Amino acid sequence: MSSRDQNIELLKKYLKKDYMIKHSIAVEAAMEAIAVKFDRDIDLYRTAGLMHDIDYELTEKDPENHAIVGAKILHENGFEEVVCNIVLAHRKSRLEDIGSFDEAAIVCSDAVSGLVVASALIHPDKKLSSINADFICRRFHEKGFARGANREKILICKYLPMELEEFVELSHAGMLLYSKELGL
């Protein structure tokens, strides 16, 4: 596997928007937290989380090919097949479509990252350290809040198995470790 610095360099080759880099880091953080809790391969989970949207700007107007192009880019750059498969899986959106722990981890991590970031951004100081899981979970239940954070995908955390509150707390704690990089 490549080093994190090499992965970020590759990511920046394809993603020019700062918010997409930060989103990728947020998903990396949530995936790392899951890996630690469930004794999974930390480097694998961090890499898959970081690289999951490498093709986002290339496929923005062609969502049917999102993640397919990304997996191809990663494959061409020597990433392990398992990383490519996790990246492909993040396209899934329903619990019925999830076939493995790895798939569940990437899908719910991708979705929860937006909810956590949006929750921090409505706080006066815009800091992850100023919010907690209870605050984020209350926002989860507000239909008009962070509409882009797909609640159905977040609830895929039940496959891990984790209840919503525990998953939000774990993801928030993971993202706190990256708060400087996230600017939150």
For position 97, which CATH number holds? 1.10.3210
Q: Which pLDDT does position 93 carry in this prediction?
A: 84
How does pLDDT run across 60-85, given as a tens digit for each residue?
Answer: 999 999 999 999 999 999 999 999 99
To the question of pTM greater than 0.95 for the whole model, the response is yes
Average pLDDT over residues 85-103: 93
Judged by DSSP in three states, 60 sits in coil
Residue that the structure tokens 């610095």 belong to: 5
Which is more confidently placed, 96 or 128? 128
Mean pLDDT of 109-131: 97
Left, alpha or beta for 146 (phi > 0: left; psi -120 to 50: alpha)? left
Which helix (H) or strand (E) segment holds residue 184: the answer is none
Residue 97 in any domain: the answer is yes
Residue 12 lies in a domain: yes
**pLDDT at 2 (0 to 100):** 75
Domain interval for residue 97: 4-179
Residues in the chain: 184
Within a domain: residue 54? yes
Token readout for 6 is: 């090499």
Q: What is the pLDDT of residue 1?
A: 56
pLDDT tier at 138 (50, 70, 90 boundaries)? Answer: very high
**Does the N-terminal peptide bond of residue 161 adopt cis geometry, omega within 30 degrees of 0?**
yes
What mean pLDDT do residues 120-143 have?
A: 96
Tell me the average pLDDT across 2-30.
97
Whether 14 maps to a domain, the answer reads yes
Buried b (16+ CB within 10 A) or exposed e, 1-17: ebeeeebbebbeebbee
- Structural domain count of the chain: 1
Mean pLDDT of 16-32: 98
Q: Find, among 86, 50, 56, 85, the residue nearest to 69 by Cα.
A: 56
Return d(Cα 130, Cα 108) in angstroms, integer: 23
pLDDT of 139 higher than 90: yes
Residue 184 located in a structural domain: no
**157 DSSP 8-state letter:** G
Query: Across all residues in the chain, what is the average pLDDT?
Result: 96
The whole-number average pLDDT for the span 156-163 is: 96
Q: Percentage of the chain surpassing pLDDT 70? A: 99
Structure tokens at 133: 């899981």
Nearest to 111 by CA among 49, 54, 59: 49
